[in-house]
Every structure is written in structure tokens, then in C-alpha cells.
Amino acid sequence: MNHEIVESFAQMVREKGIDKDILIGIVEDIFGMMVRKRFGPDARFDVVVNMEKGDIEIYLEKEGVETVENPVTQIDVKEARKKSGEDLDVG
């Protein structure tokens, strides 16, 4: 699906003569608004758009903690270990 989205934007760049960097910024802003809508204004994230590869990557940053007080910004360290497969520590 990402590839189709990025290809649509790449086609706009070619056909309409839109600056690629401006379009990448717009795509990043759109996905950033979607992340904020889903996770709230406290969410820490990064959106990476690679037009050449046809990729859109969204990284949601959470702090590993023993007891989750804010699920938007924190994750139980045991859950983080299970999801990542890495030996992670609190913090």
C-alpha cells in the first residue's frame, strides 16, 4: 500500500512539476497529523518518506518503564522486550 501512495505522489511530481522536497514535507505533515489524531499531541514520532524506494515509515517513540502511567509515551519494558526481541532496560 505504501508503494502505491508514494507512486501517486511521485506521479504528481512528474506531471505537475511540483518540487519533490516540498511534496515530501507535505506527505510527512499529513502522516504526522494522522499520528497525532490517533495517539494524541504528546506522541513522539518520526515520519520518513523515501520517494525512490516507495517507502513511508512511521516510528513511534516510547519510554520503557516498569509501570505504564501514560500509554501514549510509555511501554512496559517486558512488552517492549517481547516486541523487539532485544534485551532492553527501563528508560
> pLDDT per residue over 8-63, tens digit each?
877 877 788 888 888 889 889 999 999 999 999 989 999 998 877 778 899 988 88
Q: Report yes or no on 16 lying in a domain.
A: yes
Residue 33 has a pLDDT of 95
Q: Report yes or no on 37 lying in a domain.
A: yes
The domain tally of the chain equals 1
Q: Report yes or no on 11 lying in a domain.
A: yes
Q: Report yes or no on 42 lying in a domain.
A: yes
Would you state the torsion angle of the CA atoms of residues 77, 33, 27, 21, taken in this order, to the nearest 10 degrees? -90
Q: Report yes or no on 19 lying in a domain.
A: yes
pTM (two decimals): 0.70
Q: Report yes or no on 67 lying in a domain.
A: no
Residue of 72, 91, 89, 69 whose CA lies nearest to 81? 89
- Cβ pair 65, 77 in contact under 8 A: yes
State how beta strands 44-50 and 55-61 pair.
antiparallel
